[in-house]
Chain A
C-alpha cells in the first residue's frame, strides 16, 4: 500500500507573529488551527484526526481537550523540527487507511518570550550531557568535517543565507528582510566554528498548522488541489560510535524512500523547501536528497543557484528559517506551508516559481551531528 495521491493539503496557515509576549503557547496553537481551518473552508467539528509534537503544552491529551476536538485518530511523534513533516506522512497514512478523513497538524511556541521545554534525553545522558552539545556547535561539527573531507568553504555556505535573504525581502512578515552578501555573512561574528551568526536561523515566536484530507473532501473545497505523492522518514545517531560519519544525515534514507514512492526524481522538482536551521543543514540535505553528489553541495549552492528566478533550484522562497520564521526552533511546518503556497501559485509574485507543479518539503530534527530524524514529503499540484 502507498500513500501516493491519497491525501490532500486542504488548509495551511502560518501565524504572522514573530514575537508574541501577549499570547500563551496553547492560544497560538488554537490560532493557527483556526487559521488553517478558515483557509480550507472547514470548521472545527469536521476534524477527526489530530497531530502535535513536543511543543504542544501537555501533549495530545491536553491539546485535544483545550481545543475542544473530538478525534478518532491521533499521533504525537516528536522528532524535533521535522515532526510536522513526519506528521504529514503519518496523516496521509491514516487517511489512506480510513482512520481519519480530516486531520489537523499544529505547531506553536514562544522561544523569544518564554522558556523552551528541556530537550529529552536517553541512555546517553551521563556520557554526553557534560560536553555542552547545542544546535550551534553540533551543526558546527558537521560543517567542520564536511569542509575537511570535501573542501567546502564558508563562502559557499554563505550563499545559502544570501539566497534566503533575497527571498525574505518580499515577505512582509519576515523577521530579517535585509538582503545580505557573502561578505556580510563572513563578517558576522563567529558563533561556533565554522558557523557565523548569519549561518544560523532566527529564533521566533509563532506557529503554523495544516489540514490534510481525502481526495473527495479536497475536491469539494475551493482551494487549488495539492496532494502528497511520496513520503519518507528515517533516524540516525552515533550508534555505538562505529564508523562515525557526520557528513551525511538520515535524509539519505528518507529522501530516496519519498522519491521512489512518488515515482519522480530530484531533477523533476520545481521548488524545494529545505529545513535551514543552519546553512550547513541545507547543503547536506541537498546532497542527501540527490540534488547533487555528496561533497558537491558547496558548488551547487554557490552563485545564487537557490535564488528564485536566478538559479536552477529555487528554495525557501518565504525567506526560510534563516531570515523569515523558525517558530519554536522547529522549521518543518513552515517548509510545508511555503511548498503548498508555491504549488497553489500563492507565493509572492517576485518569488513564485512559474508552473510550479512538483515540490519537495524536507527537514531534519534533533541534533544533526548527534541523534536526529529526517522526513521528506513530495507534493504535487493536481
Chain B
C-alpha cells in the first residue's frame, strides 16, 4: 500500500464516515436507494435521483471498466492518469489509474480497485486487471 505520492487525507463527515471506516477494511462502498433501486457514487444520505432518504450502503465488487482517461504528462509529482471507471454495479466515478504502464490504457479496459494510503483512511484507485 506504500506509494511515493502523498495524497490528501479524506476529512470525512457524518454522512460519509461509514464509507471511510470501510475503506480502512479494504472495501469500496456505494450507496443504493431502496425506493428507486438506483445506485450512486459518491455517497449521499438522500438519493440524488428520487430524493428518498431510504439509501443503504452496499459493497461494490471494486470491478469495472475505463469510461475515459487522460494522461497528464507533467505535474509536481510526475505524470498521472486520471479517468472515470464505470463500476459493475452501475455508477461511474473519477479516479486515477495506478500500478501500471499508463501509456497503455484503453477505453473499455477492465480495472479493479486498489487502495492507497493517506495520513487518514485510504483512498480508492484503480489498476488494470
Q: Which residues of A are interface residues toward B (Cβ below 8 A)?
A: 123-134, 136-138, 140-145, 148, 189-195, 238-242, 244, 246, 369-370
Contacts and interface: CB of A to CB of B under 8 A. Distances in A.
A192 B67 CA distance: 16
Contacts of B86: 241, 244
Contact of B49 (A132, A140, A192, A240): A240
A146 to B, nearest CB: 9
B67 A137 contact: no
Interface in B58-101: 67-75, 80, 82-84, 86-87, 90-96
A241 B91 contact: yes
Tell which of B10, B70, B74 has the most Cβ of chain A within 10 Å: B70
A310 B56 CA distance: 58
B44 A137 contact: no
Interface of B: 7-8, 10-12, 15-16, 20, 38, 40-42, 44, 48-49, 67-75, 80, 82-84, 86-87, 90-96, 107, 118, 123
A145 to B, nearest CB: 4
21 contacts: A125-B11, A127-B10, A127-B93, A130-B123, A132-B75, A133-B82, A133-B94, A137-B72, A140-B72, A143-B70, A144-B69, A144-B107, A192-B70, A193-B70, A239-B48, A240-B38, A241-B40, A241-B86, A242-B49, A242-B90, A244-B86
Contacts of B7: 130
Given A129-B8, A132-B75, A238-B94, A141 B70 contact: yes
B70 A240 contact: no
B12 A126 contact: yes
A246 to B, nearest CB: 6
Contacts, number: 114
Contact of B44 (A123, A134, A195): A123
A370 B92 CA distance: 12
Contacts of B75: 132
A148 B68 contact: yes
Given A240-B41, A241-B87, A241-B90, 13 more contacts: A124-B42, A126-B20, A132-B75, A140-B70, A148-B68, A148-B107, A189-B73, A192-B70, A240-B40, A241-B40, A242-B40, A242-B92, A244-B92
B94 A370 contact: yes
A131 B96 contact: yes
A249 B73 CA distance: 25
Nearest to B97: A131
